[in-house]
Amino acid sequence: MMSLQKTFVMIKPDGVKRKLVGEIIGRIERKGLDIIAMKLVKMSKEAAEKLYEEHKGKSFYQDLVSYITSGPVLCMVVAGDEAVAVMRKMIGATDPKEASPGTIRGDLALSKGENVIHASDSEEKAKKEMSIFFSDSEIIAG
């Protein structure tokens, strides 16, 4: 039984800077997922704080906000069967040294701090994260 889901995916500043956008989009499309919204943005400090609010107060929080606002990011809404779980599996572990070969981070990321890509870890988080960057009218209905 199919469970059609939408999830938020973002290619981080290091992924954009290293020109990995086409490679990553290709992997998403080859997996059979649909990109139903996409935009290149220079994230504001406010959007970054909203995106990472669960980490507020942790030692790495300020570095995270500084890093994610340091250059353009490519924000996407990706849809498909079990899209949240499929994308999480595709991106691999946060630390690229622990990410399996064949995953986006396992193949492309250089460090835990610059790990190329973000994907929501739950449907609830996906809804929140999509709403930070996209209005309903910017998301193409299947």
Residue in 90, 118, 129, 134 annotated catalytic: 118
Give tens-digit pLDDT for 92-119: 999 999 999 999 999 999 999 899 999 9
Mean pLDDT of 65-73: 97
The span from the CA of 94 to the CA of 98, in Å, is 8
Mean pLDDT on 10-29: 98
The model's pTM is: 0.95
**Residue boundaries of the structural domains of the chain:** 4-134
Q: Is 118 a catalytic residue?
A: yes
Handedness of CA 79, 53, 14, 60 (dihedral sign): negative
**Per the annotation, does 103 bind a ligand?**
no
Instruction: Count CA atoms within 13 Å of residue 21 on its CB side.
Output: 14
Nearest in space to 90 (alpha carbons), one of 3, 9, 4: 9
pLDDT(64) > 80: yes
8 is in an annotated binding site: no
**pLDDT category of residue 126 using cuts at 50, 70 and 90:** very high
High-pLDDT (> 90) share of the chain, %: 96
- Name the band, by pLDDT with cuts 50, 70 and 90, for residue 141: confident
Given pLDDT bands bounded at 50, 70 and 90, which one contains residue 7? very high
Counting Cα atoms < 13 Å in the Cβ hemisphere of 22 gives 2
The CATH number of the domain covering residues in 4-134: 3.30.70.141
Residue 112, annotated as binding a ligand: no
